[in-house]
Amino acid sequence: MEHVAIIMDGNGRWAEARGLTRSDGHKAGADNISRIADAARELGLKYLTLYAFSTENWKRPPAEVACLMGLISEITEKRLPDMMKNNIRLRTIGRTSDLPLLARKSLLKCIDETKNNTGLTINIALSYGGRAEIVDAVNKILAEKKTGDKIDEKEFINYLYAPDIPDPDLLIRTSGELRLSNFLLWELSYSEIYVTDTHWPDFDKEALQKAIDSFGKRKRRFGGLNK
């Protein structure tokens, strides 16, 4: 097990249950990213991909979008020293050029400063959509290849956002919904899926360990015969 991907759902419901605002929920959700990053490191994971903002999330009320954008710069700046100390590398996937300048600047700085770190890679999906990723790949191919040559799956992967990152072994979704919500459509083809009713701000190291333990009990066949 080296790569866990997480759909961090339920900040709103977590806040509502406590009589707090949705922004409070997102703030608690953002704080939980560092806790789960620590846990992932301690559990020996190499990659943690987090769905933080989808291409569809732009349709949320402007104040909520602004809160999420503000959190991007806040947590990347606040957490940079810890990331250096803990040998964590930050990456992003998605149409990040859509993000506001301030968020982009903080992200670029953090990505650049952590680029030689060799421990856990945190890969944050921002303005990300699985369909958008595939369409972006096709457009890169069209722009690059003037001939009508066919390509195979192996070559196609090189045009996705993070070709060097192996596919997730496990997808975790918090807050109970049983859907992919346009996350990593290509990369999740053979991943195991684990859904918990726990809302993201309450998802802790023990919960992560439980998800990983459940993965350990399954047999992955990749469409082939049982081994």
Show Cβ contacts of residue 181 under 8 Å, excluding neighbours closer than 6 positions.
7, 51, 54, 56
10 binds ligand FPP (CB under 6 A): yes
**Catalytic residue check, 9:** yes
List the one residue out of 160, 203, 214 whose CA is nearest residue 184.
160
Binding mask 186-205 for ligand FPP (x = CB under 6 A): --------------x-----
For residue 187, what is the enclosing H or E element?
Answer: none
Q: How far is the CB of 16 from ligand FPP (least distance, A)?
A: 7
Reduced 3-state DSSP string for 141-180 = HHHHCCCCCCCCHHHHHCCCCCCCCCCCCEEEECCCCCCC
Q: How far is the CB of 4 from ligand FPP (least distance, A)?
A: 15
Q: Which is nearer to ligand FPP, 132 or 137 (CB)?
A: 132
Bridge partner list, 195: 173
Helix axes 22-42, 205-216, angle to 10 degrees: 60
Interatomic CA distance for residues 40 and 46, integer angstroms? 8
Bridge partner list, 147: none
Interatomic CA distance for residues 116 and 107, integer angstroms? 15
**Catalytic residue check, 57:** yes
Which of these segments, 50-58, 106-114, 132-140, 152-160, binds ligand FPP (CB under 6 A)? 50-58
**Size of the residue set binding ligand FPP (CB under 6 A):** 18
6 binds ligand FPP (CB under 6 A): no
Tokens 């997808």 belong to 171
Q: How far is the CB of 113 from ligand FPP (least distance, A)?
A: 18
Catalytic residue among 11, 24, 57, 213: 57
Count each helix (H run) and each strand (E run) in the chain, helices first. 7, 6
**Chain residue at closest Cβ approach to ligand FPP:** 12
Q: Which is nearer to ligand FPP, 53 or 161 (CB)?
A: 53
Which of 4, 5, 8, 83 touches ligand FPP by CB under 6 A? 8
* Of residues 27-46, those binding ligand FPP (CB under 6 A): 29-30
* Of residues 55-114, those binding ligand FPP (CB under 6 A): 57, 68, 71-72, 75
Q: Which residues are catalytic?
A: 9, 57
Q: Which residues bind ligand FPP (CB under 6 A)?
A: 8-13, 26, 29-30, 52-53, 57, 68, 71-72, 75, 175, 200
